[in-house]
Amino acid sequence: MINEQQEKYEKVHHVFQTIYKKYDAMNSLISFNRHIAWRKKANAVVSAEPGQKAIDVCCGTGDWTLSLAEEVGESGQVVGLDFSDNMLKVARSKINAAGAANVTLVTGDAMNLPFTDDTFDRATIGFGLRNVPDYLTVLKEMHRVLKPGGRLVCLETSQPKIPVYRQVYFFYFRMIMPILGKIFAGSYKEYAWLNESTQKFPDRESLVALFKDAGFKNVSFISLMGGIAAIHQGEK
């Protein structure tokens, strides 16, 4: 199991170290630009308040991190954590351009968050949970660093169950998305991996169970576009 987790860690790290320059453009292309509306909806679920402290795990190029920074305001703090320093380079350029002095970017492992217990009021993870070596370990870590009463919100791909629609969805991810990756980003293998990670990720109900196993209560989800993505939230 440890070897499998290490193999996934190294594989995913290589993917994001490779595709970072084209990540944002490809994200918009692949999701037909829906990821922006999804994140806005997820941010409303987070319901961060001025002065709070938040962490955005697997923050990537920093879009959700910046949204959180606006919500908590100058009196609040946001940490964006990712294991890819190349992705963080893109995030840092955005944060500098926005003048977001309340954001700190950290290179770190979602499986072993470098923070003490009960540090944050809010925690988010967007399109990152499916890429970690062990989903439950990451959820437990996010539960650990949240303060009592704190909230975790996860925005992630899911498993549509509507007949035909499900088949079309997985055909798109399996056949079309890697071709788009090759044409527009020069990265066929890397986008083939994103298909693999999507196929293996738990469905909505299974992810609810993982949230509960990690210690979260009042767990719920919002299904997006017939189940191709979902917003899950839980409280500590």
pTM higher than 0.85, yes or no? Answer: yes
Report which residue type is found at 220: S
Task: Check residue 2 and give its pLDDT.
Answer: 64
Task: Check residue 193 and give its pLDDT.
Answer: 72
Find out whether 203 is annotated in a ligand binding site.
no
Asked whether the beta carbons of 82 and 94 are under 8 A apart, the reply is no
E strands within the chain?
Answer: 53-57, 77-82, 103-107, 120-126, 146-157, 217-224, 229-235
Torsion of CA 79, 85, 89, 92, to 10 degrees: 10
Q: Give the fold, CATH level 3, of 2-159+202-235.
A: Rossmann fold (3.40.50)
Distance CA 84, CA 69 (A): 21
Distance CA 67, CA 203 (A): 27
Find out whether 69 is annotated in a ligand binding site.
no
* 152 DSSP β-pair partners: 123, 234
Three-class SS state of 229: strand
Find out whether 110 is annotated in a ligand binding site.
yes
How far separated are the first and last CA of the chain, in Å rounded? 28
Please give the order of strands across the beta sheet that includes 103-107: 103-107, 77-82, 53-57, 120-126, 146-157, 229-235, 217-224
Question: Using CB atoms within 10 A of its CB, is residue 200 exposed (0-12), middle (13-18) or buried (19+)?
Answer: exposed
Find out whether 61 is annotated in a ligand binding site.
yes
Residue ranges of domains in the chain: 2-159+202-235
Distance CA 231, CA 218 (A): 14
Of 97, 96, 48, which Cα lies nearest the Cα of 75?
48
How do the pLDDT tens digits run along the chain, 236 residues long? 668 788 888 887 877 888 878 777 767 667 767 889 999 999 999 999 999 999 999 999 999 999 999 999 999 999 999 999 999 999 999 999 999 999 999 999 999 999 999 999 999 999 999 999 999 999 999 999 999 999 999 999 998 888 888 888 888 878 887 787 777 767 777 777 777 888 889 999 999 999 999 999 999 999 999 999 999 999 99
Task: Check residue 203 and give its pLDDT.
Answer: 94
Three-class SS state of 223: strand
How many CA atoms, within 13 angstroms, populate the side-chain half-sphere of residue 40?
5
Q: For residue 93, report the phi and psi dihedrals to the nearest 5 degrees.
A: -65, -35
Task: Check residue 1 and give its pLDDT.
Answer: 62
